Amino acid sequence: MHLSDLEAFSGSIDYELRSVTMGTKRYDQAMVFTNPCDGPPIEYSVNERYKSLTFTAGLDDNTTAETVKVAVMGDGRGRKAVGLVINRLQTVTVDLTGVVKLAIEASGPECSYRDGIVAALGDATLHW
């Protein structure tokens, strides 16, 4: 099941679903964080229904070349954190066994809305 099919019960104001190109590959309906700051995470109620979450993480090909961190939490505990660098896509798998509340956040080097940093999660999929 695509993560975008679930409705977040709370979330970052810098998050949206849209197309993005990372590493020359287009991802439709990617979870996109524009100018990621230390805002509130996107939160989903998964209620122990899924075993894992997979996604491809990276920066948009036309973004400012800054390092961005994406963190995935389950029930308030860190499950996986990755640093994103332009042109270096990462395939990420997160164990969600026993997780009730899933949270995802992205944070950049500083909170400047002029930077044009665009981080994205492509093909985010929940697995039974």
Which long-range contacts does 18-23 make (Cβ < 8 Å, 24+ apart)?
Answer: 20/60, 20/118, 20/120, 20/122, 21/60, 21/61, 21/62, 22/56, 22/58, 22/59, 22/60, 22/61, 22/89, 22/120, 22/122, 23/58, 23/61, 23/87, 23/88, 23/89
> What's residue 115's pLDDT?
60
> What's residue 107's pLDDT?
86
Q: Is 50 left (phi over 0), alpha (psi -120 to 50) or beta?
A: beta
> What's residue 112's pLDDT?
56
> What's residue 44's pLDDT?
94
Write down all domains in the chain, each with its CATH number in brackets. Answer: 3-127 (2.60.120.1060)
- Mapped onto helix, strand or coil, the DSSP state of residue 35 is coil
Return d(Cα 1, Cα 113) in angstroms, integer.
33
Per-residue pLDDT of the chain (128 residues; tens, 9 = 90+): 999 899 888 765 667 899 999 999 999 999 998 877 766 789 999 999 999 999 999 999 988 878 889 999 999 999 999 999 889 999 999 999 999 999 999 887 765 555 677 899 999 999 99
> What's residue 65's pLDDT?
79
